Amino acid sequence: MRTISVDTDADGRLTVFLRGDLDFTNASQVAGAVQEAIHRGRPAAVRIDLADVTFLDSSGIGLLVRAMKAAEEGGAGFRVANPTSKVLDQLWLSGLLEAFGLADPAEDP
């Protein structure tokens, strides 16, 4: 199973689907792939879907921050979507819910 897949819809929104464990063993490589997809695609918005992420450590959170910065540099909106309850807890502890567009987890574009 691939850790990352990317899709662009007709509205120019780039959705990055992440899977499995995002930790120190793969975060740098995944972050590079996400940043490349953002820079290459020049999307209007970036959505990182975490529905299939089973574990997230500080390196995984760092890759989300790098993706957010890449989106901002390209003038794109940024949002994290569909975190599992375990991953949402990690993001809450990091204080990044609002920055990742998760201040109200019930809302998802």
Task: Write the pLDDT tens digit of every residue in 39-98.
Answer: 998 999 999 999 999 999 999 999 999 999 999 999 999 999 999 999 999 999 999 999
Higher pLDDT, 55 or 107: 55
- Transcribe 30-94 into DSSP letters: HHHHHHHHHHHH--SEEEEEEEEEEEE-HHHHHHHHHHHHHHHHTT-EEEEE---HHHHHHHHHH
pTM for the whole thing?
Answer: 0.89
Helix, strand or coil for residue 99? coil
Structural domains in the chain, sorted by start: 4-94 (3.30.750.24)
pLDDT at 104: 62
Structure tokens at 63: 């890759």
pLDDT at 105: 47
